[in-house]
Structure 1
């Protein structure tokens, strides 16, 4: 009886083992099929079921279990490894980076020759889930370990290097206080599906794009997640979605990512079409008809280049520029920013590439231009940042050109996820208050956030050096750390004051100019703004000059009866050197004078040589020769008597006459 019972138990165990093996095979086979079909959500569900049939649980795996086990167990553990890795891949492919990180963390223990990219993806998913500096540090460690293990440089090595730079950048940037306040918009605007790309339309009214489920399509058992334009009403980061925008369209057509002209009469929008499994986008135009819009018509081939995608239109608030992104030929790589001028009657010029300065080898997205500040904001995944799509800003030198190098807009307007579709709430305050779209708080989809810039101020005062009174009408120019890109200009009022809105932990240069005054400049670092909201720069005084009026350079000394400059004289000439640097267009004459001792010819020669010594010194320091003229006057222009009325020597007078001076010839 005992023997019979034992046989039954063994038989039942074999049946259960075979059933378990069958379940593993069935779940894994089904998951593999979904994976190959790129249905990663379904694949993840079945890989998860397959994983549940193993005795080995996540976090308990040990590599030696494979090395020192029987043949069947070895195969079972290898199946386990494949399921874990495919599960991690499936989660990543539909952007569930939280679960992906968990299983890639398990996979880094597997044989790296069988799973060579596990550690790269582990580091990337840690970075994609990063909320604080410590997370970026963990990601950096994994990505750096991956690079150390690479025996050759390939595409994954290149990507890892970029991600390592992202981590280093984020770690440094997150040391400083936030530059923006970012709040997820409340109400029902973020309800269901993806919600993004807000467009202010009127007071308290916005349009936005959403892929929320369509009840009519659900009833027809069609795909309900179709991008469509919706209307929302509200303010103060609370918006209620009302209905779809009244645009004639066939059911199932995807459209959104729109822009409206300043007069509110023209709507540009993106429409997506799928053909042969490939999704292409084009930009359409619609005109207002009563309370709705006309049937959208595609823009011509100047904007919608045949065979390529064009999308994400934007119109500047002055109505002069139409911007969009496209992967058309002639770009730098991926989706680039293009633009056209808007003429009379709304006509668009031929599209032009906005330039290599702004576009990267990756994808640029959703440009927004503020003409008041001549500043462009856009998103990009081709530059060093926090990861994914980040916001960058660049300033035009004028006429929508001469762009400065794009600057990352920092934390928390940027996150480890995708951050796109910046738009200003109003034209007069576009860069300080607006909306963004981000999937930072979602597994799958973009959501809408309100943003407000935390203003940091720096200012100062300009005085007249002679009167010590405030100097009105001085032009103040703020430049970035390169000292080439103009950020803003102001003119001082009666109080001689100026104030700029600046970023924290940045270096700046201030140039102060006024007609008939010598210009000055100085640099400063805004690091102290991490502790306060404003800072004052030193008060600066400008000295007035008149063309052709000599200015004496005191304490310029030469060796006796020679033109050789003494060391202490060079210190005084250095101040003139810096004055010339501050006034790069200024041309001067540098003149030397003597007293009356000696012959006229001797004194003229000596003064010429002394003036030339001063000029040669300034040229040796880098001042262009064409900007300085040397002139010796000998004893011909005394400013004091060389002798007293009784005919005796006047040492003080002769001292005043032995002088070096300069005068401005041209400014």
Structure 2
């Protein structure tokens, strides 16, 4: 948990609270927590585990289980010691579409002058915005449908993009052959609807989490995020692997122009013309949290990265850049603009 590996943390906290035994594969998205209700009546140590379980689920976007765990915690005897948990509970409720309940939790949280009061006030503004949008039938422009298995499954599947007729995506599906004993590590897979998926065979000697890949226009360079640990804290950096024949080279960490010392860089995207690498980073010089940056690609090197500015970035997190060349439009995710809640998608022309 303290290292940022929230998926594995959820697995092990789930096991502890439910009294699970053995070392089989556990699936946080598939296992009910109905028997894991010790957080409200047990010792304070179990309340802390309940809080960490709730936060872990929230951070891997499993909001149903997160809300259940927060609810147990805030109804328990140690609720007063976890006043900050009310904000996380409200975020989980918002993600589940329970805006009335979320609004109540946010108002209670603001009354308590929590450390995230400004963010909670932004959430209340977003609830008002969402209510207005939902009431407007003309705003419903898209229908979203879940892609069928085996592209999806019980595990986390995300960061998808089409490439050469196949879908490139990241998944935490169990891999018994994984090095380093990390069965639930993030890895990059490829597949098409209705067919089996295959991991992309890029070097990973220590079994690190790696994913969120993007291919160069010619398909011969794969840029992706790899997580390492510095004194127990997860650090993300962008790596590249080059294709030669039918195989991929050992990945190389990009230079400081992208991976600035003392900061995180992740979620790369190569512009369709191959001239720029867009990515998210919490490096110094930004507006706060993770901002979106662009670095010119000069063959095997990179020019100085430029912050995309206040028209895109905010004091909170901006992530997942994508550039649509025909319309000259940047699409990105943000927590810092008024929207429907959580990480919403936004667009900016230019």
Q: Which residue does 1:139 correspond to in 2?
A: 102
Equivalent position SS for 2:302? coil
Larger radius of gyration: 1
1:205-216 → structure 2 map (5 Å cutoff): 205-216=166-177
Q: 1:185 aligns with which of 135, 140, 147?
A: 147
What do residues 333-379 of structure 1 show as CA deviations (whole Å, max 9, x unaligned)? Answer: 11111102234x46432211111221111111110011221110111
In 2, Cα distance between equivalents of 1:387 and 1:162: 9
Report deviation, 1:82.
Answer: 6.0
Is 1:176 the equivalent of 2:139? Answer: no
In 1, Cα distance between equivalents of 2:208 and 2:180: 16
Report deviation, 1:48.
Answer: 7.5
Is 1:244 the equivalent of 2:199? Answer: yes
Is 1:40 the equivalent of 2:5? Answer: no
What do residues 122-162 of structure 1 show as CA deviations (whole Å, max 9, x unaligned)? Answer: 544322322xxxx2123223322443x43xx4414333212
Q: 2:184 aligns with which of 225, 236, 240?
A: 225
Q: Is the 8 A contact 1:108 1:122 kept in 2?
A: no
Q: Which residue does 1:354 correspond to in 2?
A: 308
Q: Is the 8 A contact 2:47 2:78 kept in 1?
A: no
1:423-572 → structure 2 map (5 Å cutoff): none
Report deviation, 1:313.
Answer: 1.0
1:142-181 → structure 2 map (5 Å cutoff): 142-147=105-110, 149-150=111-112, 153-177=113-137, 178-181=140-143
C-alpha change, 1:276 and 1:292, in structure 2 (3 Å) is: same
Q: Which residue does 1:325 correspond to in 2?
A: 280
Equivalent position SS for 1:165? helix
Equivalent position SS for 2:126? helix
Q: Which residue does 1:293 correspond to in 2?
A: 248
Report deviation, 1:170.
Answer: 1.6
In 2, Cα distance between equivalents of 1:281 and 1:298: 11
Q: 1:257 aligns with which of 185, 188, 212?
A: 212
Q: Which has the higher contact order (CA 8 A, sep 6+)?
A: 2
Is 1:315 the equivalent of 2:270? Answer: yes
Q: Is the 8 A contact 1:340 1:352 kept in 2?
A: yes
Task: Give the TM-score normalised by the residue count of structure 2.
Answer: 0.79
1:415-426 → structure 2 map (5 Å cutoff): none
Is 1:278 the equivalent of 2:201? Answer: no
Equivalent position SS for 1:143? helix
Q: Is the 8 A contact 2:267 2:320 kept in 1?
A: yes
Equivalent position SS for 1:303? coil
Q: Is the 8 A contact 1:381 1:389 kept in 2?
A: yes
1:101-140 → structure 2 map (5 Å cutoff): 101-102=67-68, 105=71, 107=74, 116-117=83-84, 120=87, 122-130=89-97, 135-140=98-103
1:78-117 → structure 2 map (5 Å cutoff): 79=41, 89-95=51-57, 97-102=63-68, 105=71, 107=74, 116-117=83-84
Structure 2: state its 5+ residue gaps. Answer: 1-8, 20-32
Equivalent position SS for 2:177? helix
Q: Is the 8 A contact 2:54 2:70 kept in 1?
A: no
Equivalent position SS for 1:138? helix
In 1, Cα distance between equivalents of 2:87 and 2:180: 40
Q: Is the 8 A contact 1:108 1:118 kept in 2?
A: no
Structure 1: state its 5+ residue gaps. Answer: 1-36, 53-57, 59-77, 397-667
Report deviation, 1:291.
Answer: 1.7
Q: Is the 8 A contact 2:223 2:240 kept in 1?
A: yes
Report deviation, 1:168.
Answer: 1.5
Task: Identify the range of structure 1 (374-383 vs 172-181) with the bigger mean alpha-carbon deviation.
Answer: 172-181
Task: Give the TM-score normalised by the residue count of structure 1.
Answer: 0.44
In 2, Cα distance between equivalents of 1:212 and 1:163: 33
Is 1:381 the equivalent of 2:331? Answer: no
What do residues 108-132 of structure 1 show as CA deviations (whole Å, max 9, x unaligned)? Answer: 69798666456555544322322xx
C-alpha change, 1:297 and 1:175, in structure 2 (3 Å) is: same
Report deviation, 1:86.
Answer: 5.2
What do residues 370-407 of structure 1 show as CA deviations (whole Å, max 9, x unaligned)? Answer: 122111011112222222211111111xxxxxxxxxxx
In 2, Cα distance between equivalents of 1:111 and 1:250: 43
Q: Which residue does 1:642 correspond to in 2?
A: none
C-alpha change, 1:370 and 1:50, in structure 2 (3 Å) is: closer
Q: Is the 8 A contact 1:119 1:143 kept in 2?
A: yes
Q: Is the 8 A contact 2:281 2:292 kept in 1?
A: yes
Q: Is the 8 A contact 1:363 1:382 kept in 2?
A: yes
Report deviation, 1:191.
Answer: 2.6
C-alpha change, 1:116 and 1:310, in structure 2 (3 Å) is: closer
Q: Is the 8 A contact 1:211 1:228 kept in 2?
A: yes
Q: Calculate the aligned-residue CA RMSD, in Å.
A: 3.2
Q: Which residue does 2:348 correspond to in 1?
A: 394
C-alpha change, 1:346 and 1:176, in structure 2 (3 Å) is: farther
